[in-house]
Structure 1
Amino acid sequence: MQDASAQMAILQFMLSRLPTTAVPTSIHCDHLIEAYQSAESDVAQALVTNREIFDFLQSAAEKYGVEFWKPGSGIIHQIVLENYAAPGTLMLGTDSHTPNAGGLGMLAIGVGGADAVDAMANIPWELKAPKVLGVRLTGRLNGWASPKDIILNLAGKLTVRGGTGHIIEYFGPGTDTLSCTGMGTICNMGAEVGATTSVFPYNSGMARYLAATRRAHIAAAADQAAGFLRPDEPVIAAPEKHYDQVIELDLDRLEPHINGPFTPDFSRPLSTMKTLIKEQGWPEDVSVGLIGSCTNSSYEDMTRAASIARQAAAKGIHAKSQFLVTPGSEQVRATIARDGLTGDLETIGATVLANACGPCIGQWKRTDGDHATRGEERPDLGPNAIVSSFNRNFRARNDGNAQTMNFLASPEIVTAMALSGRLSFNPVTDTLLDADGKPFKLDPPCGQELPDATAGFDEGRTVYRPIVQDPTEANLAANDVPIKVDPKSQRLQILEPFPAWNGGELEDLRILVKVAGKCTTDHISAAGQWLKYKGHLENIAHNTLIGALNADTGKVNSALNTVTGELGTIPEVGMAYRAAGIPWLVIADHNYGEGSAREHAAMQPRYLGCQLILTKSFARIHETNLKKQGVLPLTFRDEQDYDRLTGDGTMTVSTQGVADLRPGCPVYLQVTQTRPDGSQERFQIETKHTMSEDQIEWFKHGSALNLIASLTN
């Protein structure tokens, strides 16, 4: 669990009253460090700013037998790859990029905190049986093409919802040409196409990585079980007979890609950018180049970027854009420092940030001139472009500026663009000017999969090694640790159980907002400056749906209070409805809740009185999170019915079929629309749900947590 989601997961687990977690569990402090000046100063500031949260998480770890990784130790997914991942095993993580561990042959699935509580409380974890999408890789990457380009290309083919309900399984001879961390990059961004998870077959690259990270014994065991960790021969021979869908990718022909802005599936070859920039009116200047994040912060990533930096330094030039580097872990940081790679990057002007999520999750205090000011406050500045090796580029995600355009690429392409300062720069064909004004062309990057075997990885400063607990009940009882939450705290709040279902239909629901277009978990529960309230449900509820576009008003964060007849922000109206005891629902478009696994995007609406979300389709994790919190997720039987509904205050909605809710049975919505003259029109909309018998029990109890508490108490 990462620190932003672990707060709510621990607060929920506390209600189970169990003495220890039932499965090995770890907490990683990577989300709450704001990138500003330097690694040392930023971590020091985070320890002051977030002391209450870190103390809470560490005391909970001590109480329940959980391993605790301190702030500065690294990003959860890189640490998992280095320490926990193993071929053929299953892991749940409270972060949507948990599938990163698929690069080591692990079935790693991103979930909400309530799902993690299930596992921690020894409650069976449930997943709707996924389909399997096979991606056959042939050939070998060459030139400027990288593992990142494989998933950037695939995102364009599948779109942000094309992988929903699927596990993506990579196979074919091309898989044996990739490094373990390269495969991790590809699996990591499977989240961007909605996949349940992604996985590679066990191969020699994984064995080498395990040996390099002091786990040769796991590689030896995997070698013995290799037949179970790879596709069977009949599957290889006739994949179309075994996979639900097959996509072919020839790595020999793959060229560098760049995706964005505002959505990770807007994909195109880098060679087309010059034309697109002119057609779309995008900024030509690159304000900032950023490499790192959980997707691309491995040793190999850094060696490839450093190989570009060395060429530039040899020609006497520096980055024209601000250039920021985020190592994935203390182990990566220490190793690249020892091997001179940090110096290579700093020579061209890079600033090395803390081993943390930083700008990727919106923890970024920009310092690059005018754009350090939020775009909402200075609309006269217009859009600005950044390029990053991150995984997501939703509007306003990285810096809170809705006008910042984030383009996703490999670390080496980002480095080259930072040197040129131009979004149109293509290192495959274009030249730079050296210190004497003479043109030169960058050679393709070269990198090392792993550090030299004689030196190996440097584990770095011992202060960042995990605090390991003895999870036996006897030991924990002997060393009982109190977990204190100040009732006056603005950062932490003990949870009150959500009310149980009353057994009847849901009646007279107001439509809080009809959402138009993309609505990610960033839109529903923004991160960035709001991360400080992750442990305080009441406070963080004030950001509910602030990024959503109201289809009726055409404005972001706008809703009509049907009691007062006045427009307000969505949280303001939601709070007013909660105070008045008025239940409500949300109408939304396709893939509602895509993006991060944050369960706050389900808990906040529930806290404010939401009883139902009606959409054209849901993202998998978010739909489960809604079910966990006692919110009924429904989809239109006929998507055109979306156009019949409005949030203009004239409609109320009641259900028919909830009182006898059963798997596979429809739920009808009885809609009453009141006209200005007082007359009314009534019509019915048919909807579907995916609730299982167990999930219906969650709904009846008011939440999955309420059910767990009733069982454990």
Structure 2
Amino acid sequence: MIKLYDNGVYLLNGTEIIEDNNEAKAVLASKLGDGAITREVAAKNTIAYGILEAHNTSGNMEKLKIKFDKLASHDITFVGIIQTARASGLEEFPIPYILTNCHNSLCAVGGTINEDDHMFGLSCAKKYGGMYVPPHQAVIHQFAREVLAEGGNMILGSDSHTRYGALGTMAIGEGGPELVKQLLSKTYDINMPGVVGVYLTGKPRKGVGPQDIALAIIGAVFANGYVNNKVMEFVGDGIDNLSVDYRIGIDVMTTETTCLSSIWRTDDQVKDFYAIHGRVGDHKELAPKSVAYYDGMIYVDMSEIKPMIAMPFHPSNVYTIDELNANLYDILDEVEKKALVSLDNPNIKFTLKDKVKNGKLYVEQGVIAGCAGGGYENICDATDILAGKYIGSDEFSLSVYPASQPVYLELVKNGNIAKLMETGATVRSAFCGPCFGAGDVPANNAFSIRHTTRNFPNREGAKITNGQVASVALMDARSIAATAANKGYLTSAEDIDVNFTKPKYFYDSKIYDNRVYNGIGKPEKDAEIKFGPGIVDWPSMVELTDDILLKVVSEIHDPVTTTDELIPSGETSSYRSNPLGLAEFTLSRKDPAYVGRAKEVRAVEEVRRSNSCPMKENEEFNKAFSVIKAAYPDLKARETEIGSVIYAVKPGDGSAREQAASCQRVLGGLANIAREYATKRYRSNLINWGMIPFIFEEEIPFHKGDFIFVKDIKKAIAEKATEVKAYIVRDELVEFTLKIGEMTDDERDIIMKGCLINYYRG
């Protein structure tokens, strides 16, 4: 079904794979002659290399400085981004910046806060020359597909699922500060990423949808890090067997592999997509050159992939639906054991065995929504499966969210909305809520199947710390519809006799033409920005001192810690424009005592900043500092920055949200210590908020409550040291070594200045 090559590969003429092993040179010579291409030259022949080269401003393809063509954000990220950019000197948007409203669009929590954010966005689009997409018009990524994507271009978005590779656009999801840099005409700095080929062959079976293909790939590559921070480049003859909507459905889920970005070979079907959307001139035919080298290859025979299910609590926890149904209790045992690690709460008794009724797994909820599930073809195929059937009047419910108003309108025109509603399903407007816990929150102990992007703990909106637990399994819209047709009993779409009608899609741009504000390139300098009471400026942050004293305030030993656990989604979204208000929720579903402990440390640091002696105010810190002073008599407490630090094994999987780092920072966080960082974007978020991303790969010698003293940290960062000596403060100093890792010159300066805002203020 899926094969991962152990080595890099050469791809000849887009069809022939030659693994880079001892025989490769001879094989290449036999096919190409004596002038056989070198690995270094062939690596420049990928689609990804060509796009990155065209956007690189450094002149050095090993050290990229990328300038993007467009930026995109939604309503729980654009306020903080624009506020940061304003504080750093923003005068106008230098490139097209599109502000969409698909996360807090319900305006249901927090009084006026959400709509205040929207009005802030509209007023900023006017003042700085941007585009504003009102609530309920489109999910951010669907709007980007319909309006923004262009072949050969690059888009940077402040949402992790920024993926438009199937349309020939290399798109990257990052935390807000990386967009701030682009708004200030700076660059996105990164080492040249590896490029892994994804060779698609065969034709998907009837009933198998794009989510099934995506989950199979995620299951094969997530745990082993095969594509971590690399670009996935989709090639192979199987692409011809996929509609563009289908390709998009696979592509958007590449985020869950922890890759950096994705790009696909394009063809006439992609050209037709652009033509349907009135933008045929934006198409560009992309393909690797005749001999291209990839750092790895994922070989996918789509004809062998069956309908899949990603069980709680990760998209990589995959089984075939047939396998699950045939081995229910054995697999549910496995799921429960994994859940104990993910939930990490002895008071929660998680089980799915109580969902087994008459030998079948019963589901209480189905959702088809968002950037992954809300596409036109997904909903049409689901409608065909449900035609003439009813979802029943028991616990099972089905909600469908078309990804944009144009998609919704066409589904109305061709009758599919009426057919869906007749089944008992409810149809909603474009909204991302079910994907991040702000819509269709299941009942306690309920089991939900969703064609969305993630199924982390709490991602569906339950609160473990309040004794609530629910769980989500990811599935394709077709098998969700098959389950709905069986009134909630888990069913593979392959088990349903259906005629897929495949109605043609007609795009109507009038909805956007009449509602979307487009001020790109037309800033109104005198326009007034509208501030609601929930929009609060960032608190001040100080420059890094020569030495620092850290207190470990949280210790997390889960194999992976998601950004949802660092700062929960759901109802917290209403506070994304209020740094201190949002910070109250930091680690609230993982370590509820964290905020209080961090505030105690911050209080001591605030005393220091007032130019008073901090140690006199706190007996615990005074004792620790006395031990340090014995070893370093010249050390001055007033000149030693005090902060908190968390330890996690592998933090940062999941969302690009910068708040996973900034909330720690405004509470006084100075660093993270980890064995490794799950994603490049989380590590970047730490750096941009002035926090040091330390690495310690062994069993930790310190624990929660310990003090860690780091001498000459500013010097180490300034001199590009890769590691620094640190000391655990006990009755005496216990030395150990922390790795700093590679940083760009700008990143080092940002940390020394205290944060990105300070860096740009100069």
TM-score (norm 2): 0.78
SS of the residue corresponding to residue 3 of structure 1 reads: coil
How far 1:273 sits from its partner (Å)?
Answer: 1.1
1:625 aligns with 2:685: yes
State the SS of the aligned residue for 1:526. coil
Q: Which residue of structure 1 lines up, in the alignment, with residue 564 of structure 2?
A: 522
Aligned to 2:146: 82
**5 Å matches for 1:599-614?**
599-614=658-673
Shift of the alpha carbon at 1:107?
0.5
Alignment of 1:168-317 (within 5 A): 168-219=232-283, 222=284, 226=285, 229-235=286-292, 242-279=293-330, 280=332, 282=352, 283=355, 284-312=361-389
| Aligned counterpart for 1:671 among listed residues 715, 727, 734 | 727
Distance 2:409 2:649 in 1: 46
Q: Distance in 2 between matches of 1:688 and 1:48?
A: 43
After TM superposition, list the pairs within 5 Å mapping 1:130-529 onto structure 2.
130-159=193-222, 161-219=225-283, 222=284, 226=285, 229-235=286-292, 242-279=293-330, 280=332, 282=352, 283=355, 284-312=361-389, 321-364=396-439, 366=441, 371=443, 375=444, 383-402=445-464, 403-422=469-488, 424-429=490-495, 442-444=496-498, 446=500, 448=502, 450-451=504-505, 456-459=506-509, 461=511, 465-472=515-522, 476-477=524-525, 480-485=526-531, 489=533, 491-502=534-545, 504-506=546-548, 508-517=549-558, 518-529=560-571
- Residue by residue over 1:475-504, the C-alpha shift from the partner in whole angstroms, topping out at 9 and shown as x without a partner, is 523xx1122435xx2x210224421223x1
| Structure 2 CA distance for aligned equivalents of residues 362 and 607 of structure 1 | 24
1:574 to 598, 605, 610: 598
The alignment partner of 1:290 has SS state of strand
Q: Are the aligned partners of 1:663 and 1:691 in contact in 2 as well (CA < 8 Å)?
A: no
- Secondary structure of the 2:408 match is helix
Query: Could you tell me which of 159, 162, 175 is aligned with 1:112?
Result: 175
Task: Give the residue type in structure 1 aligned to 2:456.
Answer: F
SS at match of 1:98: coil
Contact kept, 8 Å, 1:112 with 1:621, in 2: the verdict is yes
Q: Structure 1 686/412 Cα, relative in aligned 2: closer, same or farther at 3 Å?
A: same
User: Offset of 1:462 from its aligned partner?
Assistant: 5.7
1:406 aligns to what SS in structure 2? strand
Q: Is the 8 A contact 1:258 1:407 kept in 2?
A: yes
Query: How far is 1:687 from its partner?
Result: 1.8
Please tell me whether residue 540 in structure 1 is matched to residue 582 in structure 2. yes
Alpha-carbon distance change, 142 to 47 in structure 1, aligned in 2, over 3 angstroms: farther
Q: What's the counterpart of residue 627 of structure 2?
A: none
Q: Please report how far the alpha carbon of residue 670 of structure 1 lies from its aligned counterpart in structure 2 after TM superposition.
A: 2.1
Deviations, residues 491-548 of structure 1 (Å, cap 9, x unaligned): 210224421223x132x21001111213111111111111111000010000111233
Contact persistence 1:412–1:445 (CA under 8 A): no
> How many angstroms does 1:444 deviate by?
4.6
Which one-letter code corresponds to 1:416 in the other structure? A
Distance 1:157 1:655 in 2: 43
Q: Which residue of 2 aligns with 1:660?
A: 716
- Separation in 2 of the partners of 1:86 and 1:142? 30
Contact 1:103 / 1:183 at 8 angstroms: preserved in 2?
yes
Partner of 2:734: 682
How far off is 1:208 after superposition?
A: 1.3
Alpha-carbon contact 1:33-1:46 (below 8 Å) kept: no
Could you tell me which amino acid in structure 2 is paired with residue 448 of structure 1?
K
Q: How big is the shift at 1:669?
A: 4.2
Name 1:17's counterpart in structure 2: 89
1:305-331: CA deviation from partner (whole Å, max 9, x where unpaired): 111111526xx9789610001110111
Letter of the 2:573 partner, please give it. Answer: L
Instruction: For 2:218, give the aligned amino acid.
Output: A
- One-letter identity of the residue aligned with 1:231: P
Give the equivalent residue in structure 2 for 1:586: 646
- Partners of 2:707 and 2:729 within 8 A in 1: yes
Are 2:109 and 2:574, in contact at CA under 8 Å, matched by a contact in 1? no
- Aligned match of 1:378: none
Contact map agreement 1:657 1:666 (CA 8 A) in 2: no
Q: How does 1:687-706 map to 2 (within 5 A)?
A: 687-706=739-758
Indicate conservation of the 8 Å contact 2:96/2:520, yes or no.
no
Aligned to 1:72, what secondary structure does the other structure show?
coil
Residues 667 and 688 of structure 1 are in contact (CA less than 8 Å); yes or no, is this contact kept in structure 2? yes
What secondary structure is seen at the aligned counterpart in 1 of 2:735?
strand
Amino acid at match of 2:687: K
Mapped partners of 1:47, 1:355: distance in 2? 21
Shift of 1:16: 2.9
Amino acid at match of 2:544: W
Distance 1:406 1:697 in 2: 42
Instruction: Tell me how far 1:658 sits from its aligned partner.
Output: 4.0
Tell me, which stretches of 5 or more residues in structure 2 are unaligned?
A: 1-72, 333-350, 356-360, 606-641
297-306 or 684-693: bigger deviation: 684-693
> Do the aligned partners of 1:656 and 1:670 also contact (CA within 8 Å) in 2?
no
Q: Is the 8 A contact 1:333 1:460 kept in 2?
A: no
Task: Tell me the SS of whatever aligns to 2:195.
Answer: strand
d(CA) in 1 for partners of 2:386 and 2:380?
A: 10
- Corresponding residue number in structure 2 for 1:563: none
CA contact (8 A) 2:702 2:728 kept: no
| Deviation sequence 1:131-186 (CA, Å, 0-9, x none) | 11111011111212122111100110111644222001110001122122222222
| Cα distance, 1:11–1:126 mapped onto 2, change above 3 Å | same
The CA distance in 1 between the partners of 2:720 and 2:238, in whole Å, is: 41
Residue 603 of structure 1 aligns with an amino acid whose one-letter code is: S
Q: Do the aligned partners of residues 103 and 137 (structure 1) sit closer, same or farther apart at CA in structure 2, a change above 3 Å counting?
A: same
Residues 661 and 689 of structure 2 are in contact (CA less than 8 Å); yes or no, is this contact kept in structure 1?
Answer: yes
Number of aligned residue pairs: give it.
Answer: 621
What is the percentage of aligned positions where both structures have the same residue? 23
Task: Supply the distance in 2 between the matched residues of 1:699 and 1:445 (Cα, whole angstroms).
Answer: 59
Relative to structure 2, which stretch is displaced further, 118-127 or 417-426?
A: 417-426
- Where 2:518 maps in the other structure, the secondary structure is coil
